Structures are given as structure tokens and as C-alpha cells.
Structure 1
């Protein structure tokens, strides 16, 4: 037994030596007679000046555009997976003899996975780079979509849905970092608009495709097969055409090539000096995000963004009640109002693009430094449209009222959602510049929590209160949130100056 213990410890020591998250005490056994000599700073590999084409900020416009679009499509695949399940719920309820609330868990568990995933995938992207931290987990999410399709019991469906969300959250978590890598703050808003548009469009297009499958009496499993096929195709495109964009990791690649070519083994990148520890990563992605959440700006902006995101997923369950139950439309026609949300998203994107002129003017006047409050005008406009859309949706839901009113309400809600959602993301990034990864991480966690919980109560709420008053309750909450962007537009700079997390943005 003694020899076995020694052998086991030896094997374990070898395994631990390959893990980059070791504590410094574990490597004290390693010594060298020249270890007291420090490497000269001249051996540090950096970009060759501000115009180095290897620097992602200096990539050609075409390469930046292709990278943005491909990562957007990859993210759309995850968003598609989140809502493609929704039209299948009624068939799953009948097939497995479960309640609507249990059926809705398939959406809620997926979004719970999306909320937890950033705690792992965000640190991975900063250690190993963006591409592997996105495409690696995304490949597993693709496989799990097919696993959901072939599940034989409700437990398997729920488990695979959760882990599809967990692994599928990788692009949702890290694509914002990619956009920061390749676009300057002055031009990033347009890229974020395209990214956000692909993210939310997948959420509203998938139910329409699912509704078409239901009308054709095709098995609910095809909602998952199609999801897996879409995710697999965009994953393959990403694998072929995407390049790494994280500058520290790119410099590691550069230093490796230089060492091999020159034989000068002292050449290295600063990222290689980073002795990554679990404690440091835990502080950045587990502790710091919730410290930021305690600041007024992060809490209220994340709360508002999370609420509107929750309403988006609530609509996956409320639209069938309003348009199929009350109006008697079939699954396909009843899902078409989701396209009205998409029209609203497009109008919201246009508002954000128009605001970019205003932002660019403020940016140049501030010595080419970000001006967070200049991101808020679209949110100020959208807050009114969002609340109004909810009231219109509710009070035009009767079967005796022409359906065009409800469609207008959906367009208004979509416009409000998109402007609030994107402006919140941009405002957090500009406000917490040095800690933007943590701010985005806690925003993703909170909005996924809201989006996962909202579908669970919508069925009882809308049936017991009625569609008009259920929508009105949500509308009144939205009205209460309207002052948030206006207050930060006026007092945001003073609040930023008082916080240690946002002083750098003043």
C-alpha cells in the first residue's frame, strides 16, 4: 500500500504540473543557477508600433466586418437554441404528460446555463484567447442540441437543455470582448449594433420556424435537429475563417515564432509572464462583478436591461396566449407577430446608428476618450416606446379588435427593447472601462436569471389576470424604470467620479 501511495502521489504531481492554475508553492522544487537574473525588457515582444497590421485594431475593414458577422451568426445560433424549443412545449407536454410550468423549464434551464456559463468561459478567453474559448464550448453545445432531439424522457431533455445553454453561452459571453479587440471606441457602436441584432433576431425567428413545423405536424424533435444543423454550419464557418483577436495571446503566438526563427529563447510576450491563479480569476469573474453590481450605475442599468430581456422571453409564452388562444390563429400564423418584434429591433438599430453621430462628436470633443452618457439618448427614447408597447399589446388583445393594433404594440416593444438593451451594454463598457469584462459578466448573469424566471409565471399570470391587465402590470413597472437613463444622463458623470471602479472614465 505504501508503494502504491507513493506512485499515486507521483502521478498526481505530474498531472498538476501541467495545469496553469497552480499555486506558487507547488513549483518551489524547480531551481536554476541563473534564476536570480531578470530578463531584459528588450526581450519583451510587442506590436511593431501603432500601425502594426498584426494588431487587431489595424486589421482591414473587410476582415473586421467578416469577423463581426461570423461571431454574430455564432451568437445567433445560441439565441436560436434558446427559443426554438418554445413552439415544441405543447407537444412535449402532451407526449410526457407534464404541466405547462414543467414544460417551460426547458427554456428556463437553458437560460440558467447561459447565466452560469460566463463564470467559466470569460476567464478561459483571457487565458487561452477568444477563438478557442468560443468555438470549443460551442461545438459541445451543438452536439447537445442533437442530444435533446433524441432524448427519450423529460429528464434527459431538461439536462441537455441546461448544458446546451451552459456551453452555448460562450459566444454570448466573449463576443463583446472580440469587438473591443478589433474596433476602436469611436466605431464600436455600429459593430455592437450588428452583434446585438443577430443575438436578438435569432430569439424571435426561431419560434416562427418552430410554428411552421407544428402546423405541418412534424415532430417537435426537428426544432432541435434544425438548431443543431444551424449551429454546426456556423461553427464550421468560424473554424475556417476566424482568426484569434485577443492581443496578449496574439503576442504569445508572435513570440513563439520569433524564438523558433531566431534561436533567441529569451524573447517572450508579457502574457507569458502571467502566472495565472484561480484566486486572481475568481476575483475578476466571481467577486468583482458583484462588487460592481453594488454601484448605483451598474445595478440600475443591469436591472433595466435584465427586465426588458426577461420580457423578451416572457413573450415566447405570452404571444401564443394572445394570438393563438384569444384570436384562434394556428401555430404558424400565431408566431408571425414575433416578426413584428424583429421590425422593432431593426428600427431600434437605426436609432442607435443615428445616435452614433452624436456620440462621435462628443468623443472627439473629449480628446478621443469615451463619453458614457452620450450612449444614453437611444435608451431614453426607447424607454417610452417599450412601456407604451406593453400597454398597446395588452389593450388591443381582444378578438373583437383588429389585429394591427397588437402588431404596432409589438413593434413599439421591439424598438424599446433593442435601444435599451444595446445602450445599456455600451454604457457599462464605457463607464467601467478597465473592468468592462466584469460589468458585462454580471449583466449577462442577471439578465439570464430574469429571462429564465419570467416564462415560469406567465401562463398563470395571463390566464388569471387576463391579457390586458397582465400586460399593464408589466407596463407600469416599465414606466417606473423610465427615469433611469434620464437620471444618469444628467448625474452620471458625478456618480462615475465618486466610484473607484469608474474614475478612469471621467
Structure 2
């Protein structure tokens, strides 16, 4: 680790770290920034006075051509590192063992923070679907028979995921991760309690939306916190634990919620989440410290300027980006990428439609298993078990075989981003198969294990779509990967909130067999997308005219 403190980071390291932190690589990260010019890309610290000029350059560069990311020579690394180290006005760590550096924190302090962030990240997605088995009880409480509202009260939570992160991400770059964790956790608790005591449907839906907005904080900040604390060699384990929340949480939630609703009523789903979230919030306020290196060094530079009277002191990781620039990068970039990049649009569309299917299932499982199988009470929550197990298997298969395929081509020296899509092309078939299987077995009222196994196939197909799509966007858009993933998140959250609104009506008109077959046929139309990009993706990127 001592060597890494003074070794100039490679471009791939900066891009990887920035992606984990949830922002683009031309915004400062623990390893520095990448300046984009019309000629080349080079890791460096942007000077504040050049920020406006740099922003203009960034917005003029084609971001889909696959900018060359060769590492600088070791001599260039050494010269630049020595140049920055020799500058007396550049504030950096006080040696390789500086206790202020989060990488040097004690083992228990580091991993305690990782486990706490992972727990909060598990709780937030769990809350998205936990009360799904209690939806009929909510409808009775608020004297509503509106089928559209029945679906929307579940999916509106994910609508908050579309808007909250766009604000949280740039604010964390300005003020650090800790203030955002604390403030968002507090607001999440407040709106969860508000949902628990809501007296009408309008209030309930609004409070659910704000739960999603503030609940998205750990999903935005968690990867960056782990990257701040854990070395690259050990980071894989921490990232897998952290990713378990978004993957398994939405499927485990209804199982807990089903039995809790039967025992104490639907409101206790929210009291349960509020109690856990309050405990995690108090623990984080007591145990967590700021981990963002750019923010820690910025505060250190400010303190030293006051102590020494030297106004020229500046953090080595200070980009000088204004609040306006950060918000522009966070909001304008994803919008431009979604509307002007065929790769970003079609991959995001594929993910968005499949993600919407997940929430169609969330909003209809309770009704399906009650009407077709006569399930009652807490047992209804077990209908989500197949989806969760399938998702877990899908994640495991992708981590093993997806990475293995990429590593094979990297060793050969012929790696292209499109190699990430091989496993997506194969996994795409499982989604329509699962939908046909689930729909017609429910329609025929076969043994309940048959449709649950079908939902396991759906869960497997969903993860085999989500995971390769995200890694492909990272490899295609490199330093602007976080903006591409933000575009993906916004589109999928919007569709997951809106498409399920018509699901109950669809099943009423078409039945469970043909209703799910319609979804299956649509997913079959999407299957060629990864095949087309495998064949033509490199050509599309070469002819790209997408500029930011």
C-alpha cells in the first residue's frame, strides 16, 4: 500500500474507481481525474482556473468512439508524480501511513463501515417490495378499488430512484459522503413513518415516492465508500456483499412482509423498516467517518490555508469544478447519452423493459396466488421465493462465466466491449421462457411449484440481462461510464414505475396465460439486441457522432 501512495494511477484504475464511486472519471476520485482533450486522455489534477475551459472540452468530445486508454509510460508516470510531489502548494497525504487516509484505518473501523453500508443498502431495496403482500389490505384501509393505484403504490417507490440519485450524486462530490448518508437516512426514516401513519391514498403514495428518493442514497454512495476504504485486492468480496442488497432485497422483502402483514397489519411493514433504518442511522452517526479522499484533502487544504496564510494551497485531487458543472454533468450528460447514443438507448431500453417486468410480478403475485391457488395470509409472501433464488443463481453465474469470458479475451489482447454481451445474448432467452412457463402454468392451475420454478427462470434471465448490460456500458463509455449508467437507471426506474400500472387490467382482459405470453413475446423481440451489438457494435462506435 505504501507504494500505491506515490505510484501514479493508471487510466484503467482511475476509470474503475470512478465507476465504483458512481461518477465520471473526469470528476476527482481517490486516484485523481482524467482530463479529456481532443488529442488524448491523461490522468492529472485539474487546476481550478482551468475548469471552465476543461468543461467546454469535455462537452465537445465524442464519447462513444471508444477513446484510447493506453497507460502512460512509466517514465511519464514518474515525471508527473515527481512534479506534483515537488509542488509545495499541493496538499497530499502525510506519507504512506497517514491515519487521515481511509485506506489506513484500522481493520475493524474499515470493515465495520462496509458492513453498515451494506446493511443499509440491503434495507432500502427490501422496503421497495416488502409490503406487496399487504396491498389488498391497504386498498381496504383507504376504501379504494382503483386497479391502477394498486400497482402504483408499489412501483412509485422505484420512481424515486430515478430522481433522487441525480441530486445525491453531485451533492456528495461537493460536501462528501457522510452528510448525504446522514441526511438521506434521516429523511428516509421520516417518510417511512409518514407512510406508516398515512390517512389517505394520496398521502401514502407521495410518502412512498420520497422514501424512494432518499432511500436511493446507499445505492449511489455505497460503491464509492467501499472503494474509499478497501484496496483493489480485497474489494471484490466487499462489492459482492454490497451488491446482494439490490439483488436479493426486493425478493426477500415480500416473504417477511407477508407474515408481518398477517400478524400485525400492513402498517407494521413500514414500522419494521423505520425501526431498522433508525438503528442503522444512529449507528452510522456514531461509527462512520468521512471516507471521500477529495473531500478530506479539500478540508485539509482549507485548514492549512488558514493556519499558514498561504492562499495558494490546493488539494491534489481538487478539480475546481463548480456546483453548476457538477449538476450539469449529473443531469445533462445522462440525458444526452440516452437520446443521442444508439448503444446507450437500446441497451437501456432492454434493461428498462425487463426491470418493469420485475415490478409487474411484484404488484400481481399476491392477487395471482390468492385467486388461482387460494393462498392466504403470510404464506402469500413465499410466492416471491422463486424469483429471489433465480436472481441469486443468475448473479453467481454472471460473476463466474461473464468475467471468465472477458479475462480470456483480455489475455489474448483482442478484448472488445462487445465480448461482455455474449452471456447477455444467451441469458436473454431465459426471460421469455420463464414468462411463458409461469403464465400458462398459473392459468392451468398446476401445482404451485411449477409457476414458482418459472419465476426462478425469470429471475435468472433478469440478472443475466442487468449485469452484462451494466458492464458493457462501462466498457463502451469508459470515463463517462457513470453517466451512461445514470441514463440506464432513470429510464428503467420510469418504466418500472409506469408500465405495471396496467398489469391488473391486462390479466383481467387476457388472462394469466396470454397476458404473460404478451410480455414474453415483447422480451423475444428484445433478444436480438445483444446479437446486433456483438456484430455491429464496434462499427456503430466507430461512426458515432455523440458529443457531450
* TM-score w.r.t. length of structure 1: 0.81
Aligned to 1:391: 436
Aligned to 1:474: 519
Aligned to 2:313: 267
Aligned to 1:108: 155
Q: Which of residues 392, 399, 422 in structure 1 aligns to 2:467?
A: 422
Aligned to 2:33: none
Q: Which of residues 183, 203, 219 in structure 2 aligns to 1:172?
A: 219
Aligned to 1:234: 280
Q: Is the 8 A contact 2:131 2:258 kept in 1?
A: no
* TM-score w.r.t. length of structure 2: 0.75
Between 1 and 2, higher relative CO (CA 8 Å, sep ≥ 6) is seen in: 2
CA distance in 2, matches of 1:431, 1:181: 24
CA distance in 2, matches of 1:439, 1:180: 20
Which moved further from structure 2: 172-181 or 244-253?
Answer: 172-181
Q: Is the 8 A contact 1:352 1:378 kept in 2?
A: yes
Shift in CA distance, 124/264, structure 1 to aligned 2, threshold 3 Å: same
Q: Which of residues 386, 393, 398 in structure 2 aligns to 1:347?
A: 393
Shift of 1:158: 2.0
Aligned to 2:328: 283
Which moved further from structure 2: 83-92 or 43-52?
Answer: 43-52
Shift of 1:265: 5.6
The count of residues paired between Structure 1 and Structure 2 equals 461
Shift of 1:269: 0.9
CA distance in 1, matches of 2:347, 2:96: 34
Shift of 1:86: 2.0
Q: Is the 8 A contact 1:47 1:55 kept in 2?
A: yes
Q: Is the 8 A contact 1:351 1:378 kept in 2?
A: no
Aligned to 1:88: 134
Shift of 1:44: 1.4
Q: Secondary structure at the match of 2:290?
A: coil
Q: Is the 8 A contact 1:96 1:153 kept in 2?
A: yes
Aligned to 1:334: 380
Q: Secondary structure at the match of 2:540?
A: helix
Shift of 1:501: 6.2
Shift of 1:244: 3.4
Q: For 1:13-24, what aligned pairs fall within 5 Å after superposition?
A: none
Shift in CA distance, 420/410, structure 1 to aligned 2, threshold 3 Å: same
Q: Are positions 1:319 and 2:365 aligned together?
A: yes
Q: Are positions 1:121 and 2:168 aligned together?
A: yes
Shift in CA distance, 233/135, structure 1 to aligned 2, threshold 3 Å: same
CA distance in 1, matches of 2:477, 2:536: 16
How far does the alpha carbon of each residue in 1:439-491 deviate from its partner, in whole angstroms, 9 at most, with x for none? 12221111111111132111111121100111111111111111222333343
Q: Is the 8 A contact 2:197 2:267 kept in 1?
A: yes
CA distance in 2, matches of 1:207, 1:277: 40
Aligned to 2:355: 309
CA distance in 2, matches of 1:312, 1:59: 40
How far does the alpha carbon of each residue in 1:268-303 deviate from its partner, in whole angstroms, 9 at most, with x for none? 21555625142x234212221111112121111111
Shift of 1:325: 1.0
Which moved further from structure 2: 306-315 or 236-245?
Answer: 236-245
Which moved further from structure 2: 426-435 or 231-240?
Answer: 231-240
Shift of 1:49: 8.5
Any gaps of 5 or more consecutive residues in structure 2?
1-51, 53-85
CA distance in 1, matches of 2:412, 2:356: 37
CA distance in 1, matches of 2:503, 2:241: 30
Q: For 1:343-422, what aligned pairs fall within 5 Å after superposition?
A: 343-355=389-401, 356-363=403-410, 372-398=417-443, 400-422=445-467
